[in-house]
Chains A and B, each alone.
Chain A
Amino acid sequence: GAGVSQSPSNKVTEKGKDVELRCDPISGHTALYWYRQSLGQGLEFLIYFQGNSAPDKSGLPSDRFSAERTGGSVSTLTIQRTQQEDSAVYLCASSLGQGRGTEAFFGQGTRLTVV
């Protein structure tokens, strides 16, 4: 597609349920990033993919969070047993890869609310 696509755009879930967030990067972009942003706060890094591998998953807050990327394209972020503190906007970004000057393009995010 023309841009980074994320779905759903909004998700309300009950505490304790599992959720799956999807990111469809720009075609040909090998690098993919997941971030979390709470209201009025900065970007919190979660995980970085280069192709299908994740050189850096240091930002995942707990073992309830996992992410995968298949075929070097679509990525899913899964949160198990959601907690209220998981409520935030989850942003996905992609870039052309490891070359210089390859800016990241962001999707519009998934707003997750855990009630």
Chain B
Amino acid sequence: GQNIDQPTEMTATEGAIVQINCTYQTSGFNGLFWYQQHAGEAPTFLSYNVLDGLEEKGRFSSFLSRSKGYSYLLLKELQMKDSASYLCAVKGAGNNRKLIWGLGTSLAVNP
């Protein structure tokens, strides 16, 4: 079967660093995406990884290890506005390249 696992909830302090992990088992792989979703809003794209390694974009970085079926999203210098749900999604391969989504990690940033 196809499965994506993320922690349900995380808590961190303003100014700190937090790492949100995602493990996946999918039939085929055409990239892994991270999205941010604030309460009551639609998800917005954060990052994309298709090759192993770290992709950095400002305060956010995303890492991928295809051999381990593992990714993480690293958020630095946390701000209160980073409180949101973070969704991991994998694009499949072959004829069906739909996105397979994790249930999301709800991050609470405290002052």
Chain B 13-49 per-residue mask, 1 if CB under 8 angstroms from chain A, else 0: 0000000000000000011010000000111110010
Dominant secondary structure of chain B at its interface with chain A: loop
User: At the interface, yes or no: B87 with Cβ under 8 Å from chain A?
Assistant: yes
Comparing A10-18, A41-49, A78-86, the segment that makes contact with chain B is A41-49
* Total residues of chain B contacting the partner, CB 8 A: 22
Q: Which residue of B lies closest to A97 (CB)?
A: B97
User: At the interface, yes or no: A52 with Cβ under 8 Å from chain B?
Assistant: no
* Total residues of chain A contacting the partner, CB 8 A: 22
Residues of A within 8 Å of B80, CB to CB, are: none
6 CB-based A-B contacts, threshold 8 Å = A31-B97, A48-B98, A91-B42, A101-B31, A104-B33, A109-B42
Report A's interface with B, CB cutoff 8 A.
31, 33, 35, 41-43, 45, 48, 50, 55-56, 91, 98, 100-101, 103-109
